């Protein structure tokens, strides 16, 4: 694997060791959650390495770079929720024809997906029942984007930028998203069980 993307030798050594999706997920799990105490951020993978923390978008970008350096396409996917919940961005990869995902979250769910899904819709639907509001159990996942190849942003230096890369999440908000559910289905949704809600409140890191 050649370092052709402008990373330092030290940075490249880290990525070199992340040679499977599973190892990438382990590394991202060990990063602290970026609570954006000093204001909103969208850090590049270089800055994630430097600061040793990330939120979901930053984790997805980092994972996409690590995947890219080991022969995968650098793909991310946006999942949109209702207005009273948060969207979620994941890195996705294809292995022997099947889709999997890497995700950064502070919660016990919305994380790694094994590459067992035949298509992107199947992969996204695997998140549906875990995607609910902790205070009322309302299921909120509604739409998803096609996988976005981050190579389109190479000229902007997204991998090693010292500035926030807001143009990536901005792009995600503008592209077409596909509906997961219909209005008549939403009306009949059952809320998450109390035990699921309790599990959903587990956190890796408590907000400061």
For 135-187, what is each residue's pLDDT tens digit? 999 999 999 999 999 999 999 999 999 999 999 999 999 999 999 999 999 99
Which alpha helices (DSSP H) does 40-166 contain, by range?
45-51, 56-68, 120-125
* Phi-psi map region of 117: left, alpha, beta (phi>0 left; psi -120 to 50 alpha): beta
Task: Provide the mean pLDDT of the chain.
Answer: 96
CB neighbour class for 60 (10 Å; exposed up to 12, middle 13-18, buried from 19): buried
Structural contact between residues 109 and 83, judged by C-beta atoms closer than 8 angstroms = no
Structural contact between residues 60 and 76, judged by C-beta atoms closer than 8 angstroms = yes
Q: What 3-state class would DSSP assign to 98?
A: strand
Instruction: List phi, psi (to 5°) of 139.
Output: -80, 130
pTM above 0.85, yes or no: yes
């Amino acid at each position: 694997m050649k370092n052709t993307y402008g990373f330092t030798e030290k940075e490249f050594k880290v990525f070199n060791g992340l040679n499977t999706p599973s190892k990438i997920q382990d590394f991202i799990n060990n990063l602290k959650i970026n609570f954006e105490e000093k204001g909103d951020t969208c850090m590049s993978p270089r800055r994630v390495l430097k600061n040793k923390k990330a939120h979901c978008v930053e984790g997805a970008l980092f994972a996409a770079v690590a995947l890219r350096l080991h022969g995968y396409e650098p793909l991310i996917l946006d999942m949109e929720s209702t207005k009273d919940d948060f969207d979620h961005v994941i890195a996705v990869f294809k292995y022997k024809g099947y889709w999997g995902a890497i995700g950064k979250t502070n919660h016990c769910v919305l994380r790694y997906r094994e590459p067992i899904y035949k298509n992107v819709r199947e992969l996204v639907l695997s998140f549906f029942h875990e995607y609910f509001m902790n205070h009322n159990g309302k299921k909120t996942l509604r739409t998803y984007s096609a996988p976005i190849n981050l190579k389109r942003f190479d000229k902007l230096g997204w991998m090693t930028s010292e500035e926030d890369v807001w143009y990536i999440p901005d792009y995600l908000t503008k592209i077409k998203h596909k509906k997961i559910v219909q209005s008549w289905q939403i009306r009949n949704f059952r809320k998450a069980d109390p035990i699921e809600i309790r599990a959903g409140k587990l956190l890796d890191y408590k907000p400061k």
